[in-house]
Structure 1
Amino acid sequence: MSGCDQKCETSKDNVSQNSVDEGLPRELSQLSLSSGSSPEEFHCNKGHSEATLKNIFTYYQSQKLCDVVLIAAGVRIPSHKIVLASCSEYFAAMFTGSLQEAKLSEITLERVDPQALRTLVHYCYTGIIELSEETVEVLLSTATLLQLHVVTSTCCDYLEKQLDPCNCLGIALFAEQQSCLNLHKAAMDYTHQHFVQVVKNEEFLCLTEAQLEILLKSDDLNVVTEENVFESLMLWVQHDLANRQKHLPNLLKLIKLPLLSSEYLIDKVEAACGNVSECQPLIMEAVKWHLLPERRSLLFSHRTRPRTSTIGRLLAIGGMDGYKGANNMEMYDPRTNTWTPFMRMGTRRLQFGVGVIHNKLIVVGGRDGLKTLNTVECFDLTSLSWSTLASLNTHRHGLGVAVLGDGPNSPIYAVGGHDGWIYLNSVERWDSCSRSWTLVAPMAGARSTCGVAALGGRLYAAGGRDSGACLRSVECYDPATNHWAACAPMTRRRGGVSVCASAGYLYALGGHEAPANAVGGRLACVERYDPATDTWVLLARLSYGRDAMGSCLLGNRIVAVGGYDGAQYLSVVEVYDSENNCWRKLSSLSTGRAGAAVVAIPPPRNIF
């Protein structure tokens, strides 16, 4: 045995299997089986196919034995029908069907680039094709016509690697015209991700109104604020003001004007669009959103739903993870639906509270596993550094923490908790100007592991535990009067409850009714409080009954993170869909944790 010839010896019992393994025709295996009882021999030339195709290519080059001539723009390309039909579904249907071309020796292909056709015919013989920026698009369109699927896919992969802010819109349009769905999606995803850079290029300025409308509709535009989107619209309009100003009212509907600052609305939007009568209702809608926050539940629309990149990120901080307690953080990115490790806390803390003010995390109280703490730490999200703030007046764990207001100097409140000996009804307020904690009016009753949230300029404390049992009661603090007032109680007793405010309502999630160390008794039910009517209503249930979960408003949706179901620490993360009254799962935490502080932080400034 020598060269490419390989001698294959086998018995009757396994010759059929070896025939299949070596790629031999079934007829050959059947022939060997039908012979006598002695072992059969046959030779398998593994280079046969390659050598044969190489010989056929030689005939193609010398234009011998060709049985068809393809003609494109006057250029004649002699070739072999059997080769073309073997590679192209287009030619297979043409030469083996009932079409007239099956009998013709010369076939003219209309609106086909001759050089691209010659390159693709060459590919049919060799399996080799050369791509360049100058030729890839015409090769892709021609390969799509001829149904050379491998070439089409190869061209799409090449174009995807060439995506750039200056060409992604053009590639997306071309891919759509060629029905290359994967390439179109990749180009649009790239456009969304690099939107701020894309708008600086000529392709963006040359978009039609319909094309720009599709782009502005997307909630996936990667921008820091909605200002970026408004400015891109005005850039497009100003590029051809005489012909494009008429499109402004229709396109301005796609800008989330209520999410712009009131100053920007007056200084920029009103100045640029206020003289267009059809734009005035949109500007007024945005102004009402700012002036009448108590009516926002009536003003919800797609313009009040933030784009994914502007809602920020979610941090899950510390909590119990089944061991000594976690001091690490995980960050959730809503654009990618992924959790990634972030930073670590300066010290280990359990049952603590966190507030966010002006790009800073204020970590308050808790316990370190042995003793209850009154220490306070500050984590700067810009410099990624820790510092120490003035301590609380009272050691407390199981406290609730909330920020009242959204300004850089908004006060932080530390509510209730346990000092290691007794349940607390005391409340402290952090003043960022004096950088100190002062006691304010206490609650009517003591409560620990309660849910605390700010809503409508007031502070709410719901549920929790006192020295007796889990509580249904709810109290509301008015900073103007320094007074706590009772609200309608929840429908269920809830210790270890998580409370979150959204769209003018208060939401109470999960908790436990029985003692925290009892088996079972964890709640999956969720209820919503309306301060206008002082009533609670039950909503869709969580997927798991649990207490000690973290919850936070991310954008305009509530996210529930982790918790304890009585047997294990959970990694499950769910988001509430208020329009359909249901909970949908998001990507899970990397590890189960309960009692984690969950907060939303601003989007990073370097997202480009």
Structure 2
Amino acid sequence: MERDYQSQEEIVVEEEIRSIDHHHHTRVVSGEGVGDGSPPRKLRKENDSRTATVETSDGLRMEVNSFELSRNSRFFRAFFYGPMSKVNGIGIYKLSTVNSRMLRYCIDFLYRLDSLRADNTDLVTAVLVLETAAYLCLIRLEKKLCQLISSLVDPLNIISIYAKVEDSSPSLARELWTKIIADFDKLVENSTFLQLSEQEMINLIKDEHLDIKPKNEHKSVHEWCKSRSEEEKKELVEITQSMQCLSNEFSHDGYIVYKKRYPRSILLSLGGWSSDGVSSAIEVFSTRTNNWKGARPETTMIPLSYHGLIQRKEGLYLIGGFNGHNYFNTNHYFDFEKKEWKLLAPMRYNRSYMSAVALPQDESSFVALGGYTGAERLSTVELYDVDKGVWRNLPSMNKARSDGSAMYVDDKIVAVGGFDGATIHNNIEMFDFHRHKWDIVTPSMHSMRTGVCSIALSRSVFGVFGGFNSQRRLKSVEFFDTREGIWHQMNEMMTTRSNFSVELFDNKIVAAGGYDGGRTTAAVEAYDIRMNKWSGLPQMAVAKSALKVTRVDDLDIIKTFSHPY
């Protein structure tokens, strides 16, 4: 069965190319504005002595800037200036392997390279141009198109796009294959997986990282085989039948599971306060198992609650906290590569009920702020330099905040709510790194909140969840857009909570644990932003408050924390 190569979409691209032809007539370097504005003057000089005439495979002659094309491409350096340069007696270079339309698109995209974005680039056009850009060795354009294509694909078109780029761009094909593995459940739901070849289906079923619900494993193979001839499905049937013989030992809820697999994304719950005291347990949740299980014993942490947690690509940092007796200034680090815990440089202050904020990965630092020393509530802020392994002070907040929350939004640190020893705050403040200053932001939240959680939902939007307002635990939720400056109410959580944890997982906001006003809870729930609805998730194995939850995606360390299922 041949893949559908979206011929109708190619027809649309043909029309777009005709539009470019109309603007250019027969001159790519005509000087007229194309696309979203005129290109830089240096790329389209009229009467430029470096202008050359190129005859393309369809016989059209075009004037191009030979210097600029050579500057961007090894192919054109050889084509115009190398010993094999093919110029005829009247000074025309023959490009017999590329037609005029694709060359026009490549040059137009190259002119607008810095302004090309996902919101102004058509996916099908980008895919068609990529093959020519790769052939012509337009390295910067090829890299940009790969980035755009990767950001634009979705479960409805990813397989057809993968087929298009498999030969022309192996690196992009590998990236898309990883997405196919990660989104296979969605491909089963919309039936696009039926476009896969037999060998691709075999590779997927054998992959231990395939992200697929147990109920879909046998279903996907069965549905794919129904649409194939005996010869087309022979090898897949033989392989899955041999794997099925092993499935009895790890079948899942009666479904045929061909292979034990590791999840691609997990939630980790670390530490907290339980009925047995301060916990050293780490629990793991994935959509594949749909339950919480204890992490492998070798990952066990020290007993800790009311701590900060930072996850970076190199490892986990547990900062400060309380063990029921002592307030800590420690920085415990779990090295993802060495798979072991170790102590790093301590903070200058003991901090329990503190907040910790991860800065962008390329900044190689994170921030600890506020908290309680055991004697006073803190407004102080410290920044940890990961590369140098040292802490340094940042300007203090305007308010002391213990049991508050913080995140990184709009290139600023945002501190939310908290308790200063006398007052529960309903305000927030932001730290501007350029001005090196904290500013109280108005208007204030609708509620006072301590024991509160917050999370960045986009570059400019964050949500604030639950907490305690001096009279009761809250289940209310509100969000703030820094561009708009207005607080909006969201649907309330199902459970009242303070001293809990939130994290983004599986395109939802997950709230876990905490104190509900009567007891410590193991309840977990998820908010679907598109549906504007909270729904229950499986409970944690242990009821805990003052815990931290984080998501781990596509890292080998998942094998260390979890078991295959």
- TM class, shorter-chain normalised? 0.5 to 0.7
CA distance in 2, matches of 1:496, 1:534: 24
C-alpha distance in 1 between matches for 2:156 and 2:497: 32
In structure 2, how many angstroms separate the alpha carbons of the residues matched to 1:505 and 1:358?
A: 24
1:418 — aligned with what? 372
Q: Deviations over 1:283-336 (max 9, x none)?
A: 87964998xxxxx9xx99989998485972111101011121111111111233
Q: For residue 289 of structure 2, what is the aligned residue in structure 1?
A: 336
Verify: 1:374 aligned to 2:329, yes or no. Answer: yes
* 1:530 aligns to 2:481 (yes or no): yes
Q: Select which of 243, 247, 266 maps to 1:313.
A: 266
2:446 is matched with which residue: 471, 491, 494? 491
1:40-86 Cα shifts (integer Å, max 9, x gaps): xxxxxxxxxxxxxxxxxxxxxxxxxxxxxxxxxxxxxxxxxxxxxxx
Aligned ranges 1:204-243 → 2 under 5 Å: 208-209=3-4
Residue in 2 aligned with 1:513? 469
Q: Matched residues in 1 for 2:481 and 2:150: separation?
A: 19
Tell me the amino acid that sits aligned with residue 428 of structure 1.
Answer: E
Give the distance between the partners of 1:506 and 1:370, measured in 2 at CA.
34
Q: Label 1:312 to 1:207 Cα distance change in 2 as closer, same or farther (>3 A).
A: farther
Q: Computing the radius of gyration over CA atoms, which structure comes out larger, 1 or 2?
A: 1
Q: Does 1:455 align with 2:406?
A: no
Establish whether residue 385 from structure 1 lines up as the match of residue 340 from structure 2.
yes
CA contact (8 A) 1:313 1:603 kept: no
User: Which digits, 9 at most, give the CA deviation of each residue in 1:432-488, with x for residues without a partner?
Assistant: 121111110110010101011112221111011111121101011122322111223
2:373 alignment partner, SS class: coil
- Cα shift at 1:526: 0.6
Which structure 1 residue ranges, 5 or more long, are not aligned? 1-205, 212-257, 260-266, 291-295, 516-520
CA–CA distance in structure 1, aligned partners of residues 445 and 319 of structure 2: 27
Give unpaired runs (5+ residues) of structure 2: 7-116, 119-125, 136-140, 159-178, 186-210, 212-262
Shift of residue 209, structure 1, vs aligned partner: 3.5
Kept in 1, the 8 Å contact 2:364–2:387? The answer is no
TM-score (norm 1): 0.50
Given candidates 533, 557, 577, the residue that maps to 2:508 is: 557
In 2, are the aligned partners of 1:502 and 1:556 still within 8 Å (CA)? no
Aligned to 1:323: 276
Distance 1:485 1:362, change over 3 A: same
Q: Distance in 2 between matches of 1:354 and 1:546?
A: 19
Whole-angstrom distance in 1 between the partners of 2:489 and 2:325: 38
The residue type equivalent to 1:552 in the other structure is E
CA distances 1:355-409 after superposition (whole Å, capped 9, x unpaired): 01114000000112112100111012343210110000111100001101133x5
The 8 Å contact of residues 319 and 326 in structure 1, kept in 2 or not, is answered as: yes
Is 1:544 aligned to residue 475 of structure 2?
no
The answer to whether residue 525 in structure 2 is matched with residue 574 in structure 1 is yes
**Equivalent residue of 1:443, what SS?**
coil
The answer as to 2:422 corresponding to 1:468 is yes
Match in the other structure for 1:597? 548
CA distance in 2, matches of 1:513, 1:285: 50
Q: For residue 497 of structure 1, report the CA deviation from its aligned partner.
A: 0.2
Change (3 A) 1:524 1:269: farther
Which one of the candidate residues 429, 442, 449 is aligned to 2:396? 442
**How many Å separate the matches in 2 of 1:566 and 1:434?**
43
**Change in 2 beyond 3 A, CA 1:363/1:288:** same
Amino acid of the structure 2 residue aligned with 1:510: G
State the distance in 2 between where 1:442 and 1:301 align: 47
Question: 1:189 — aligned with what?
Answer: none
Q: Distance in 1 between matches of 2:407 and 2:480?
A: 12
**Aligned equivalent of 2:317:** 362
Structure 1 residues 379 and 583: CA distance shift in structure 2, 3 A: same
Shift in Å, 1:583:
1.1
The residue type equivalent to 1:485 in the other structure is: D
Q: TM-score, normalised by structure 2?
A: 0.54
Q: For residue 534 of structure 2, what is the aligned residue in structure 1?
A: 583
Other-structure match for 1:352: 307
Deviation at 1:339, TM superposition (A): 1.6
Name the CA shift for 1:392/1:319 in 2 (closer, same or farther; >3 Å): same
Residue 398 of structure 1 aligns with an amino acid whose one-letter code is: Y
Tell me, in whole angstroms, the C-alpha distance in 1 between the residues paired with 2:157 and 2:506: 13
**1:477 pairs with 2:431:** yes
One-letter code of the match for 1:532? R
Distance 1:373 1:536, change over 3 A: same
User: Cα 1:273–1:556, aligned 2, differ >3 Å: closer, same or farther?
Assistant: farther
Percent identical: 23
Distance 2:290 2:156 in 1: 21
Distance 1:587 1:346, change over 3 A: closer
Tell me which residue corresponds to 2:359: 404
